[in-house]
Amino acid sequence: MTRDDWTFLSNHGHVLVALARDPDARTRDIADAVGITERAVQQIVADLVEHGYVDKEKVGRRNRYRVTRDSHFRHDLESGVTIGAFVDLVNKTTATP
């Protein structure tokens, strides 16, 4: 990675945003969007579920994810921000005049 390749969000943040955008997304699709392996996505989703940031529901052979919008960030610097406010901000579309 070059010094110009960094982003503000970790892979956990990217996966959270992807799940908020598409609750029915497949692991493969999330992996492609984030640029990580399917196994890494599975581990991150397990972390997010374990810590209460995402609920996972089995629907047929697929999973459906629901972001727990009233959860707060873990770090003290961001602990006043809810996950819902964060994903709303990131998923906002810019209106064209």
Q: DSSP of 14-57, one letter per residue?
A: HHHHHHHH-TT--HHHHHHHHTS-HHHHHHHHHHHHHTTSEEEE
Confidence of residue 43 (pLDDT cuts 50, 70, 90): very high
4 found inside a domain:
no
Which pLDDT belongs to residue 78?
Answer: 93
For residue range 48-67, what is the model confidence (pLDDT) as tens digits? 999 999 999 999 999 999 99
Contact status, residue 66 vs residue 23, Cβ threshold 8 Å: yes
* Domain span at 66: 11-88
96 found inside a domain:
no
Sign of CA dihedral 63, 64, 70, 75: positive
Residue 31, domain CATH: 1.10.10.10
Contact status, residue 11 vs residue 36, Cβ threshold 8 Å: yes
Domain total for the chain?
Answer: 1
Mean pLDDT of the chain: 92
93 found inside a domain:
no
94 found inside a domain:
no
51 found inside a domain:
yes
